[in-house]
Chains A and B, each alone.
Chain A
Amino acid sequence: MAAAAAETGARELHGAGIINAIKASGVEYVLAVPDIVTSSGLLAPIAHDKDLRLIRVCKEDECIGIASGLFYADKRALILIQYTGFLDSINAIRGIAVEYKQPICMMIGLLGHEPDLAPRASPRYGVRIIEPICDDMGIAHHLISLDSDVGKIPPAIENAYRTSEPVALLIGRRPKSADRQGSDDEEG
């Protein structure tokens, strides 16, 4: 499906490709609070994926502590959250990821984002401020909106662990699941 979309130039993002990229990055644990942007295309299939261990948490900042603990045992984790949870976790990210220089890898759904706009141009205030906040905190960030962006994921995670620095992977379009078509205009 992804290949066909590429041939036709379709502006799509498929969850299967992202999950393959997560696995190719050596990630063993996915720490998550449900996010409507990534719920059906990523979180649901990850929950059934035998190669990834999903830890469902109550609140997003828990993920930062858990990922840190896993890092000390040389285990890789990806945090899958909504941008609202990222904002709610800023103090934990400040302390653990930035000041302690830990490879906290976050995949952040941009709820309400219009996929064909740059996040900074989003009419939604909460989306508009995410990249500037990352910039101010010195957190590398990458926009994943199309299948052609998925290739950014493995090197971004690898670089985070090589340099021991955080990274934010911003999901700008609702990923399509293998068994169900995603929709960009649904509201969460």
Chain B
Amino acid sequence: MMKRDECFRILARHIGKEAVVATYSSAVDWVEIAPRPLNYLSIGAMGLDSSHGLGLALGRPDKRVIVLQGDGSLLMNLGSLVTIAAVAPKNLIHLVAQNDTYEANGSQPIPNPKVDFAGIARSSGYAACYDFSDLKNFEQQIGHVLEQQGPVFATLHVEPSKKLKYDYPSMYDPKKREAFKAQWRS
């Protein structure tokens, strides 16, 4: 089992001009590790991270989009896997941190921790799917994963993290949306 922030520290070493879509607990960890204008945090409703990512990827096919979604969020928008696979954006990487809880809502368990997200993504039609539960393996493979033609999916099996501070006013600051827009359109 891995820690989400450790995975994200490794991921951050591979990130350049990509948009990174993140929300709730994933966003808290990611922003602390990699604060940057191309972080897209204003999701507006739980579960829609993957749909925002699809829109971003369609809008700028010349740029790559990485979605950092939680398991609770994806469960609220499982259909997006089918939609994304059908549209098949080559520039979309979809990473789901599975800690088996709705962490931002009190760390209550998800309905069924046995759910196989990578398996669902695979059968939905994603171009490449991965499952990581060992940090060393993740570190060795993530560069390769990010180079694959999308849509790419990977489940990161992680432990519930330490208690996080959710600074929503900062994450959802309109100035950050404007900064993102300016960078994404350039």
Chain A residues at the B interface, C-beta cutoff of 8 Å: 29, 55-59, 61-75, 77, 91-92, 94-96, 99-101
Contacts and interface: CB of A to CB of B under 8 A. Distances in A.
Contacts of A59: 77, 79
Interface string B54-69: 1111111000000000
B41 to A, nearest CB: 11
A67 B45 contact: no
Contacts of B185: 72-74
Contacts of A96: 42-45, 48
Nearest to B49: A65
Mostly, the B contact residues are helix
Interface size class of B (residues with CB under 8 A): 20 to 34
Contacts, number: 108
Contacts of B42: 96, 100
Given A72-B181, A75-B59, A66 B79 contact: no
Contacts of A75: 58-59
Interface of B: 40, 42-45, 47-60, 77, 79-80, 82-83, 86-87, 172, 174, 177, 180-181, 184-185
Nearest to B48: A65
B48 A56 contact: no
